[in-house]
Copies of this chain bind each other. A is one copy, B any other.
Amino acid sequence: MSGSTHGAAPPRLRADGVGFDELAQATRNHGMPLEALRYDVTPAGLHYLLIHYDVPFVDVTAWSLHLDGFDHPMTLSVDDLRARSQVTEAVTLECAGNGRAMFESRPVSQPWLLEAVGNAEWTGVPLASVLDEAGVPGDTVEILFTGLDRGVEGGLEQSYQRSLPLEEARRDGVLLAYEMNGQPLLPQHGAPLRLVVPGWYGMTHVKWLDRIEALDHPFQGYQHTAGYRLRSHPDDPGEPVTRILPRSLMVPPGVAGFPQRERHLAAGRVELEGRAWSGAAAIAQVEVSTDGGTTWIDAVVDPPAGPHAWQRWHLDWTATPGEHELACRATDATGERQPIEATSNIGGYANNSVHRVRVTVEDRNA
């Protein structure tokens, strides 16, 4: 999602103003309104969307997937893929740039606050079975995925491309998906076929798949060498962005103001609720604060619908009149906990700081 090339600092913006170039992204991409955390499965159109270039206009009847560089190169139509054994799994997807706009400085890109997430049911063919059928050459180290979406980034016209190490590509749960929530993929979600890689940030889930290739060397494309790296300064080569860090989000309680979206709540008992997820492991704990982070209380965490789906959490709270700052933070089974404040990085990636929600509680019986 970075617009920078390694070695060249991207433009920086102050946190109290958003540029028109950022606005051009924000009015076409969109997040999941946080009240939609209530749905186990995110309805179509509420799932977050981040599209680097344009949504390509694909003739699904003429489309085919090309597998190149394998022992048995193949070309597969949608019908060919549907004729193979299919699986359906709930997968929580999050954009690597979620939280970017909440860093004190950030590059020009999609200015996400907190909404770049969704949990959908994806149906498709396990990638491992297609790789086995095509025959992976013995010297293969990575599998490269190329989408039909083309654009200009870092001065280069390019197709969107991402690779995966072979062992990641072979993992259980990695899908070539042709359905979302029981319906054929919508154009903006990669129709007719996309990659789904549970646990990894969204940049890996290549949409509008055109070509899958076996590589005997690590891929050095733009989205690996310039974009999607955690770099502390412009000359830092950095580490690649990979798996989703733990995060919890809260359904903002009460009702919203328009246009500022401040929250208004009646005094009394309220069930605080939300979702938590991590790309590394199950969620072990969600803590909630009702005093701005001074004290924390364990919420109840429900089991997930599947190994790659977010988990619901909830906690009863008796809201007293006045102003309150609510917060939540998750810890996953590896012991990784959301930070109070995440360390910023050049690309504005992986800001999983605790979620804070200010509420005004009114005594309506007074």
Residues of A within 8 A of B (CB): 1, 3, 15-36, 38-39, 43-47, 49, 51-55, 57, 101, 107-113, 115, 150-153, 157, 186-189, 252, 255-262, 264
Chain A residues touching B, majority SS: loop
Copies of this chain per assembly: 2
Determine which of B36, B52, B152 lies in contact with A264 in the assembled complex, contact meaning CB atoms within 8 Å: B152
By a CB distance below 8 angstroms, the chain B residues around A115 are: 27-28
B260 near A24 (CB under 8 angstroms)? yes
Most buried by B among A15, A28, A113, A153: A28
B188 near A46 (CB under 8 angstroms)? yes
A228 to B3, CA, bound (A): 38
13 A-B interface contacts by CB (under 8 A): A17-B18, A18-B23, A23-B26, A28-B30, A28-B32, A36-B187, A38-B57, A45-B188, A46-B55, A53-B258, A110-B259, A151-B257, A157-B255
A257 near B152 (CB under 8 angstroms)? yes
By a CB distance below 8 angstroms, the chain B residues around A29 are: 30
Beyond A33-B188, A151-B258, A153-B258, 11 additional pairs, beta carbon < 8 A: A1-B258, A21-B261, A24-B113, A27-B113, A33-B54, A52-B258, A107-B259, A108-B259, A150-B255, A151-B256, A152-B257
By a CB distance below 8 angstroms, the chain B residues around A34 are: 28
Q: In angstroms, how far is the closest chain B Cβ from the Cβ of A96?
A: 14
- With A16-B20, A43-B186, A157-B264 in contact, is A109–B259 under 8 Å at CB? yes
A258 near B44 (CB under 8 angstroms)? no
A297 to B366, CA, bound (A): 67
